[in-house]
Amino acid sequence: MYLKNLSLINFKNYEQLEIEFSQKINCFVGDNGVGKTNLLDAVYYLSFCKSRFNLIDSQNIKHDENFFVIQGNYYIRNENESVYCGIKRNKKKQFKRNKKEYKKLSDHIGLIPLVLISPYDSNLIIAGSDERRKFLNGVISQFDKQYLEDLIKYNRALSQRNSLLKNFAKTNTFNIETIEIWDEQLIKLGTSIYEKRVNFVNELMPVFQKYYEIISNGNEEVKLNFSSQLHDFDFPELLKNAIERDRILQYTTVGIHKDDLIFKLDDFLIKKNGSQGQQKTFLVALKLAQFDYMKNIYGFKPILLLDDVFDKFDLFRVKQIIKLVAENNFRQIFITDTNKDRVKNILNDSSIEYNLFNVSNDTIELSNNIKL
Ligand SMILES: Nc1ncnc2c1ncn2[C@@H]1O[C@H](COP(=O)(O)OP(=O)(O)OP(=O)(O)O)[C@@H](O)[C@H]1O
Ligand SMILES: [Mg+2]
């Protein structure tokens, strides 16, 4: 699968842009603030119906304009597919596949699998557990619609149960039977979500370790553990044991909404002890493992977007990443960097086919097209 071309009108800093891509590696080089990440975000939009960076659609319209259009032509499973996203101020988002509008945006998610590695991903390591659950949820729900539905229902039941606990406290009453109605929902949905998370992390772990070892030359040992209260107790037991505490605190203190991923480097938390380069290695390895996982599920390789990925890495790690890329593990890749010479030297060394584009304030020009 690959993106053949893209056209933009009034998307962020781009007034009008038409661009043809290489089926393999596309590098975008240019100074800070010229629109490299914005271009990747447009590609991201066509996969996820939203921006990675700004969830308010209208804020992605070029300043002082009234609409934006992103259109891309893909080649997927031996078919041509065209995807269109149009946003007008104060109007509903228009999202079309082959000129036909989707009834639900969620029907589109999963058609064009994509993995983005961006500097914003550092939140996965340094921010609270919510970010890491979002990562788990985002990846699993891309290919498992039931998981997404269960998650939505779980969150609804959780918020109902929490309101009930608050209400009991306010009115100084308590009725275990009404609580148990919500417990039943939480148990059914939560247990299934938990099992899927366990399976996913178990499959991800060895691939993640493999990638970390390759990028870091095996000098560091990393661990990725899934932590959940459900490891040690059944969900019904957890809820029963916690009810007094829940009543006092007026919210549900146990469940899969407390799950987390624990990232360790040589037995220490990477969040606290890892250098910036090590944290970034961790993220890249994690995302590449996600890529492998998705590739196996879909039966073809997702699009890979690497935004500023070489920044903070020593030359060895940069070379290892490019080596991975060159070894044909990946299909179509989009890379951004501020340092043209760095990208050129590395890619020329590895003799892979790539397109190099110069980006400068809303225009993108093909600088060279090197083919084997
Ligand atoms: N809605 C918008 N309308 C017009 N311009 C916008 C809009 N949103 C963002 N921009 C502009 O886009 C530019 C940032 O682009 P982008 O983040 O793609 O830069 P970049 O090339 O990735 O830079 P860096 O190397 O620093 O990562 C900024 O100059 C910003 O003002
Ligand atoms: Mg950028």
Instruction: Establish whether residue 36 lines the binding site of ligand 1, counting it when its CB lies within 6 angstroms of any ligand atom.
Output: yes
pLDDT number for residue 192: 98
Residue 274: other Cβ atoms inside 10 A: 22
Q: What would the mean pLDDT of 338-356 be, rounded to a whole number?
A: 85
Q: What is the pLDDT of residues 187-220, one digit of tens each?
A: 999 999 999 999 999 999 999 999 999 999 988 8
| Rounded CA separation 9/86 (Å) | 9
**Ligand 2 centroid, distance to 226 Cα (angstroms):** 31
Question: Which CATH superfamily, name and number, covers 1-113+300-372?
Answer: P-loop containing nucleotide triphosphate hydrolases (3.40.50.300)
Both tokens of 342, joined, read 């760095």
For residue 28, list its beta bridge partners: 336, 357
| Rounded CA separation 133/118 (Å) | 18
Both tokens of 157, joined, read 């039941």
326-339 in b/e form (b: 16+ CB < 10 A) is beeebbbbbbbbbe
pLDDT number for residue 353: 79
pLDDT number for residue 372: 37
- Split at pLDDT 50, 70, 90, the class of 347 is confident
Q: What is the pLDDT of residues 77-130, one digit of tens each?
A: 999 999 999 999 999 999 999 999 999 998 898 899 999 999 999 999 999 999
Q: What is the pLDDT of residues 36-71, one digit of tens each?
A: 999 999 999 999 999 999 999 999 999 999 999 999
Instruction: Establish whether residue 51 lines the binding site of ligand 1, counting it when its CB lies within 6 angstroms of any ligand atom.
Output: no
**Ligand 2 centroid, distance to 198 Cα (angstroms):** 34
pLDDT higher than 50, residue 371:
no
| Rounded CA separation 67/55 (Å) | 16
Q: Of 99, 75, 69, nearest to 4 (Cα)? A: 75
First to last CA, the chain: 21
| Rounded CA separation 77/331 (Å) | 13
pTM: 0.91
Provide the percentage of residues in the chain whose pLDDT is more than 90.
81
Q: What would the mean pLDDT of 334-350 be, rounded to a whole number?
A: 87
| Rounded CA separation 106/242 (Å) | 36
Q: Where in the chain is CATH 1.20.1050.90? A: 127-297
pLDDT higher than 90, residue 356:
yes
Strand order, beta sheet including 222-227 = 222-227, 260-265, 268-269
- Split at pLDDT 50, 70, 90, the class of 323 is confident
Q: Where in the chain is CATH 3.40.50.300? A: 1-113+300-372
Both tokens of 252, joined, read 């549900």
Both tokens of 103, joined, read 């009834």
Residue 93: other Cβ atoms inside 10 A: 14
pLDDT number for residue 123: 93
Ligand whose nearest atom lies closest to the CA of 337: 1
pLDDT number for residue 369: 54
For residue 2, list its beta bridge partners: 75
Which CATH number is correct for 127-297, 3.40.640.10, 1.20.1250.20, 1.10.1060.10, 1.20.1050.90?
1.20.1050.90
Measured CA distances, 120 to 117, 125, 280 (Å): 8, 10, 11
Instruction: Establish whether residue 15 lines the binding site of ligand 1, counting it when its CB lies within 6 angstroms of any ligand atom.
Output: no
Measured CA distances, 289 to 161, 222, 283, 363 (Å): 36, 14, 10, 34
Burial of 81 (0-12, 13-18, 19+ CB in 10 A): middle
Ligand whose nearest atom lies closest to the CA of 59: 1
| Rounded CA separation 335/264 (Å) | 28
Ligand 1, atom 26, residue with closest C-alpha: 32
Task: Determine which helix (DSSP H) or strand (DSSP E) holds 90, and give its type and residue range.
Answer: none
| Rounded CA separation 251/258 (Å) | 12
pLDDT higher than 50, residue 309:
yes
Q: 12-16, 337-341, 347-351 — which one is most confidently predicted on average?
A: 12-16
**Ligand 2 centroid, distance to 196 Cα (angstroms):** 34
Q: Which SS3 state, helix, strand or coil, does residue 283 take? A: helix
Measured CA distances, 220 to 206, 226, 311, 322 (Å): 15, 20, 20, 20
Both tokens of 339, joined, read 């340092």
Contacts 24+ apart (CB under 8 A), 166-171: 166/250, 166/251, 168/247, 169/247, 169/250
Give the angle 356-362-368 at the CA atoms, nearest 5°: 15
Measured CA distances, 329 to 74, 179, 300 (Å): 20, 50, 11
**Which stretches within 172-275 are classed as H helix?**
176-216, 235-249, 270-273
Q: What is the pLDDT of residues 220-276, one digit of tens each?
A: 899 999 999 999 999 999 999 999 999 999 999 999 999 999 999 998 999 999 999
Q: What is the pLDDT of residues 125-179, one digit of tens each?
A: 999 999 999 999 989 988 888 999 999 999 999 999 999 999 999 999 999 999 9
Ligand 1, atom 29, residue with closest C-alpha: 33
| Rounded CA separation 62/11 (Å) | 5
Measured CA distances, 106 to 102, 144, 195, 305 (Å): 9, 12, 23, 22
